[in-house]
Structure 1
Amino acid sequence: MSTPSSTATKKPTLPPEPAQAKGTRKKKRANWRKLLFRLHGWLGLNLGLLLFVICLSGSFATLSNEIDWLLNPDQHIERPAGAPAGVAGYDWTAMHDSLRKAFPDGRNLGIYAPEARGSAALSYVETPRGQRLKVYLNPYTGAVQGRTSFFNVQRFFRSFHRRFFDGDRGITLIAFMGFPMLLLALSGFIYYRGWLKQMVTLRRDKGARIFWSDLHKGAGIWGLLFTLLIALTGIFYFVELGYIAADNYEALQAEPLPQVETASLDDYGPQPPLLPENAYAETAREALPGLQVRSMRLPRRPGGAVYVDGQRGNPLTRDRANKVHVHPFTGEVLGVQKSSELSTVPLIGDLVDPLHFGYFGGLWTKILWCLLGLMLTFSILAGTYLWVVRLGDARRASKDAPRSLRPFSWLRGAVVSVAITLAYFVVVTSATVEGIKEYAPQRPAPQAVVEVQAGPYRAQIECATPCNPAEGAALTARFRGAGMPNYQAATFDAPDRERSPDTLQGPAGAPSATVVALPGDTLQMRIKERSGATHTATFRVPSGLQAATVAEASWPRTAPGVWWVVGAFAVFTAGCLVGWLAMIARAYRAAQRKNAQ
């Protein structure tokens, strides 16, 4: 029986791929890259000027606190001899005591530790005139070193960069720009080949167009990771706006920490005293070992907790990622939050701001972020210029080309989009002027009506200007004495009139209500304690109160030099835009001369 010879099985040889198929694939790849290139150009042409202004203001915003420190001597401090350096030597009790003495009728909105060595602590104080002040304190002695309005260089750049002073429309538009910025970064990087070579190529002897092209490509490659970071964090801000609009912002936040149990408040009396603020800081450090206390906020009402937050070994997160709630009357810990235990979404929310503005590493990362931001800013401007020039060349070259190979018809709307952008900047300029004025006092100080005593509570009744009770006036009960008023409810009532009492709303120490009453009418302030006991005080609406004219908004009081910085930014931005338009006009005239030859 013969056996077949064992021969190796040979793999069948496939016929060679037709040259036509290879050419088709190459053509598809070329068309895909051309599409990507045109998308990059369309976004730059139509949105470039808007992105330029956003990125320019954001670059300066990174160093805005440092600019304020240079301009305002009140922000410079000296550490007393023998006092421990840094957070260990901060006297939170002294700072709060100084604020109470300097602003007896003001409301302390929180105290924030210095950002750098040699800087003052910062407190926000709301005055009876409705104005918010920035108050600068020596963190070691508590001494008040100075005050300004809420407006300064930091507030200007932060508000301008965030919303163009244009309300919801501005903040939505700017946050949305994260999407086109992301597409610009990715489309440019994917399209251009040989990016390693482009990183070190800058030809100065090949004409302006080649120079700006090399600069645009090189800056885009060097700053690619930075651009992606800014775009992605901007997109997160846009997502936040969506949750806020849907009234579901809590979905992005960590589980809220406990407050004081309302049922226990009756145990502390009508006006329980707060503990020394240093005790709250020490309690927070014991609850979170290693915590460097960065800010403290006292509660507005008895049921609220003392809020303490700070850093604890992770500078990439906001201070609020590590926080402690402390009972204001007993000092016990109500709740603790650690950045290391946050779930993914809240952790991202606390990472976004430090990464977007670069303050996670102190001054050096701020400087780096500013330089990278400026590089991105002028890369955008250069790219927009190049595309306008390229568009003119492409149109001339494509007159006899097939329609499918001509530039996007959308590109022809670039002039319209630029005109719309420049027109919007006119609106932004007007909105910025009005927005800055809003930081000035918007109304005169309230008028004192009478001082009343209702049981253990003593309060001064004030009428907000313009005070015209017959048409409805805002009356405030400003409680006097140490401690926090601990009542269940407070109302204004007119016994001689058949209407429901007006419930006082707002901070426990200075709640207010809008009351309609005629001069000579009897009003009654009724305070209900948590035990159920009720105290009343009766007073008459004085006939001498007259409607007053509200003072027109003036410019806010701010540190010397702030206006120079704001003006310089406005001039510089306008100069860049005018210079860009001049370069476009010159390129257009050069093209016209070339066509005429």
Structure 2
Amino acid sequence: MNKKTWYKWHSFAGIKLSILICFILITGTLAVISHEIDWLANPSKRVLPAVDSSQVNWSAVYKEARQRQSKYTIQSIHSPIDNWFAVEVITQNEQGMRHREYYHPITGQYQGDGRWYNWQRFFRMSHRHLMMPTIYGTSIVGIMGVIMFFSLVSGFFMFPKWWKNFFRKPRTQNRKVFWNDCHRLFGLWSSWLLLMVCVTGVWYLAELWGLDADFSEQQDQIITTQKKPIIPSQAVFNKALERVRDYHDMQIKAILMPSNRWSTLIFQGQNDTLLVRDRANNVIFNPLNGDYLSRRFAQEQSLHVRISEAADPLHFGTFYGISSKIVYFIFGCILSALAVSGTYMYGLKLVRQHRDVPIQRAKVWYLSWQGMHYGRWLSIFLITLCFILTVIVFTNIVIL
């Protein structure tokens, strides 16, 4: 195909659902720093001055959390996201409603609480599946990933020797040329991130439809006569904690309490294995006596599992803490601007008037709006549905 044909396909892929694509890019960009947004919004999450998040006093946190539990059951305990974050304890009441509590990572002192549906949940859920049931929402977002991937590839075919344009200053002789050069420059510098999120996004779609990886089976159930999940005593918790520290090379990131899904005490975390979620490494104990039951480490898993576990760190940029998240956020903003500039350029291409006559911005956006055809209404419908479902879910009318 020639350059003109590639441009037609590039425009078709980018313009028809540009509103929805832009929404997904913006929510994804904000999802990268969503924990930090919650840190700003909720003083209970803050630990100032900052402390070393790797030195969490899990025993003190668990003791304080157990003493506070009367109406709530502890579901899990999570280490600080960074050194200035508190430990987060997830609890659940008899109606199944989840809640967050925050504790100082060193002293274990209770600092305050927060709702389960916070900013992090909003940006994550709206980006991942538009607040819809996962099977539908994730499929739609995954298809958008395929479209953006095609737009990325076609963009490179449109510009021969594109690698020479990384440091080319945008020309300013007229608005069309300027926006075209800016769009090209934005696209080149953010292409690595677009490739990353598209590939991992398509991988999520593939996992949803049958290519998900399974860990090897572990002993996560024990025989007990109790109908309710067993809450480990302080002594049992401390015994298991010491076993993890003394015999297993793993930095604890989360502790999962016995539940209806598993009846054991599970410690999850990180070791020297790169690009894996916390769940890839775990050590499991009997909640009745603290005896060791089983463990798994990421480096011992199959290639399929390793690829699956690398998807989240690569998609959201969490693999190097706040540093990598800042890089992802900056280039995510550029990608979002790229979607806007591409839409504006499409309208500029459709303007038919003498070059000496000033171009009216309203006319450009109107032509872009018309060029979206039915895609504009589909985009607006899905985004509106996302916000309606947000109101329904976040007001606890339903539980997801």
Which residue of structure 2 aligns with residue 277 of structure 1?
237
In the alignment, structure 1 residue 424 sits paired with structure 2 residue 382: yes
- 1:280 aligned partner, one-letter code: A
1:335 Cα offset (Å): 1.5
1:435 Cα offset (Å): 2.6
In the alignment, structure 1 residue 238 sits paired with structure 2 residue 205: yes
- 2:35 aligned partner, one-letter code: N
1:389 Cα offset (Å): 3.0
Which residue of structure 2 aligns with residue 62 of structure 1?
32
Bigger radius of gyration, 1 or 2? 1
In the alignment, structure 1 residue 166 sits paired with structure 2 residue 124: no
Q: Could you tell me whether the CA contact under 8 Å between 2:179 and 2:345 is conserved in 1?
A: yes
1:347 Cα offset (Å): 0.8
User: Which deviations, in whole Å up to 9, do the C-alpha atoms of 1:555-594 show, x marking residues without a partner?
Assistant: xxxxxxxxxxxxxxxxxxxxxxxxxxxxxxxxxxxxxxxx
In the alignment, structure 1 residue 414 sits paired with structure 2 residue 364: no
Q: Could you tell me whether the CA contact under 8 Å between 1:265 and 1:302 is conserved in 2?
A: no
Change (3 A) 1:261 1:129: closer
- Rounded to whole Å, the distance in 2 between the matches of 1:440 and 1:418 is 29
Aligned pairs for 1:249-264 within 5 A? 252-262=213-223
Aligned pairs for 1:55-454 within 5 A? 55-77=25-47, 86=52, 89-168=55-134, 169-243=136-210, 252-262=213-223, 275-289=235-249, 291-300=250-259, 304-391=263-350, 414-438=372-396
Change (3 A) 1:238 1:251: closer
Q: Could you tell me whether the CA contact under 8 Å between 1:79 and 1:140 is conserved in 2?
A: no
1:286 Cα offset (Å): 3.4
Q: Could you tell me whether the CA contact under 8 Å between 2:236 and 2:290 is conserved in 1?
A: no
1:67 Cα offset (Å): 1.7
Q: Could you tell me whether the CA contact under 8 Å between 1:265 and 1:303 is conserved in 2?
A: no
SS at match of 2:111: strand
User: Which deviations, in whole Å up to 9, do the C-alpha atoms of 1:56-75 show, x marking residues without a partner?
Assistant: 11111111111211222211
- 2:220 aligned partner, one-letter code: Q
- 1:212 aligned partner, one-letter code: W
- Which structure carries more relative contact order (alpha carbon 8 Å, separation 6+)? 2
1:125 Cα offset (Å): 0.6
- Rounded to whole Å, the distance in 2 between the matches of 1:331 and 1:100 is 17
- 2:335 aligned partner, one-letter code: L
Aligned pairs for 1:427-506 within 5 A? 427-438=385-396
SS at match of 2:8: helix
Structure with a larger share of its residues in strand: 1
1:344 Cα offset (Å): 1.1
- 2:163 aligned partner, one-letter code: L
Structure with a larger share of its residues in helix: 2
User: Which deviations, in whole Å up to 9, do the C-alpha atoms of 1:198-225 show, x marking residues without a partner?
Assistant: 2222335222221211111111111112
Q: Could you tell me whether the CA contact under 8 Å between 1:108 and 1:125 is conserved in 2?
A: yes
1:252 Cα offset (Å): 1.0
- Rounded to whole Å, the distance in 2 between the matches of 1:294 and 1:77 is 17
Q: Could you tell me whether the CA contact under 8 Å between 1:317 and 1:351 is conserved in 2?
A: yes
Q: Could you tell me whether the CA contact under 8 Å between 1:110 and 1:295 is conserved in 2?
A: yes
Q: Could you tell me whether the CA contact under 8 Å between 1:281 and 1:293 is conserved in 2?
A: no
Between stretches 229-238 and 418-427, larger displacement belongs to 418-427
SS at match of 1:133: strand
Moved over 3 A (4+): 31-34, 85-89, 270-276, 391-394, 439-442
Q: TM-score, normalised by structure 2?
A: 0.86
Between stretches 129-138 and 202-211, larger displacement belongs to 202-211
1:392 Cα offset (Å): 5.4
1:34 Cα offset (Å): 3.2
Q: Could you tell me whether the CA contact under 8 Å between 1:166 and 1:432 is conserved in 2?
A: no
Q: Which runs of 5+ in 2 are unaligned?
A: 354-368
Change (3 A) 1:441 1:341: closer
- Rounded to whole Å, the distance in 2 between the matches of 1:64 and 1:195 is 34
Calculate the aligned-residue CA RMSD, in Å.
Answer: 2.9
Q: Could you tell me whether the CA contact under 8 Å between 1:122 and 1:136 is conserved in 2?
A: yes
Q: Which runs of 5+ in 1 are unaligned?
A: 1-30, 244-249, 395-410, 443-597
User: Which deviations, in whole Å up to 9, do the C-alpha atoms of 1:89-146 show, x marking residues without a partner?
Assistant: 4222222222222222311110001111121000111123432111111122222210
1:439 Cα offset (Å): 7.4
Change (3 A) 1:427 1:327: closer
Which residue of structure 1 aligns with residue 18 of structure 2?
48
Aligned pairs for 1:581-596 within 5 A? none
- Rounded to whole Å, the distance in 1 between the matches of 2:251 and 2:105 is 14
Q: Could you tell me whether the CA contact under 8 Å between 1:109 and 1:126 is conserved in 2?
A: yes
- Rounded to whole Å, the distance in 1 between the matches of 2:398 and 2:159 is 51
Q: TM-score, normalised by structure 1?
A: 0.59
Q: What is the percent sequence identity of the aligned residues?
A: 26
Count how many residue pairs are aligned between Structure 1 and Structure 2.
381
- 2:380 aligned partner, one-letter code: L
